[in-house]
Copies of this chain bind each other. A is one copy, B any other.
Amino acid sequence: MAGRLTPSFIARCAVLSMALEVSGTPKPGNIDREHDYVGTKYEDFLASAIGVYPVMEKACREGVGESAPRGIGSLILEASGESVRWQGGGNTHFGAYILLFPLIKSAMRGPLDELRDNAIQVVKETTIQDAVDFYRAFSMVDVRMKESKDLNSNERSLDVSDSSALDELGRRGTTMYDIMEISAKNDMVAREWVEGFRLSFRAAEKIQGKRRTGTMNDATVLTFLELLAEEPDTLVAKKYDMNKAIYVQGLANDVLERRMTLKELSNRLYVEKINPGSTADIIIAGLFISLLNGMRV
């Protein structure tokens, strides 16, 4: 992995990170290779991951004209549209895009040991246009979500969710970074932008450490479990309330301290229809960083 990372390598790492995350099993409450939901299947996540490859590659552009860099907002908008061209399970990776695109741009910008610093810089450079495009993507996903009767996919909502506010964004000069800052309190994915991708890099460190002595699946699943035990999942908090998220956090700690088996936790969350989808988004970012750093499956 000497020399500069190529767009094709970076894009494949992004696709593979989504495929590996959804394959990790049992990942309590979430869709994985052994668990489908009624309206969304494991295969939908695979198809979505592979279907967005060209958008991941576009995120690497840094030339001029047709090769000019693309904004993070417009990349999320395009990926959201492309994803549902390949599968009928609805929103599968919206949260993941919010983390992957800044990390992809950062990987193009400089060496891997500056990945985090560059990502922090990249998100601060987002514009009003990024905010507008992000809103459009969010509205699209949000509408589709409300049309669907199935509330089990990785849907998420932001504090700012009225799409009529588009013009208002321009008037106020709100950038995508500003939106993430506003959302950070109630959304751990948005919080990554504000806190310098703290959990994503923490996940990457855990994944690579565990992979050195265990299987890829164990590395993914155990890291998921540890993150769940460390921080309440904000998708759970939004769909239910913070108490529910803290309840899940407690259960994850029960597994880590051997008062409950992973399988029991898994079964309980599926029965109670609780899916910690934001933690899964963080795992994707962690896997992506690990793959960039040369981890093999």
User: A residues near B, CB below 8 A?
Assistant: 8, 11-12, 15-16, 19-20, 23, 33-34, 41-44, 46-47, 50-51, 53-54, 86-88, 215-217, 296-297
B297, A43: Cβ atoms closer than 8 Å = yes
Q: Which of B11, B41, B296 contacts A297 (CB 8 A)?
A: B41
A87, B46: Cβ atoms closer than 8 Å = no
B44, A8: Cβ atoms closer than 8 Å = no
Residues in B neighbouring A296, C-beta threshold 8 A: 47, 86-88
B216, A12: Cβ atoms closer than 8 Å = no
Enumerate 29 A-B pairs (CB-CB under 8 Å) in ascending A order.
A8-B53, A8-B54, A11-B53, A12-B50, A12-B51, A12-B86, A15-B53, A16-B46, A16-B51, A19-B50, A20-B43, A23-B33, A23-B43, A23-B46, A33-B33, A33-B34, A33-B42, A34-B34, A41-B215, A41-B216, A41-B297, A43-B217, A44-B297, A47-B296, A47-B297, A53-B53, A86-B296, A87-B297, A88-B297
Q: DSSP majority for the A interface? A: helix
Distance in Å from the Cβ of A297 to the closest Cβ of chain B? Answer: 4
> Known contacts A8-B54, A34-B34: does B297 contact A16 (CB below 8 Å)?
no
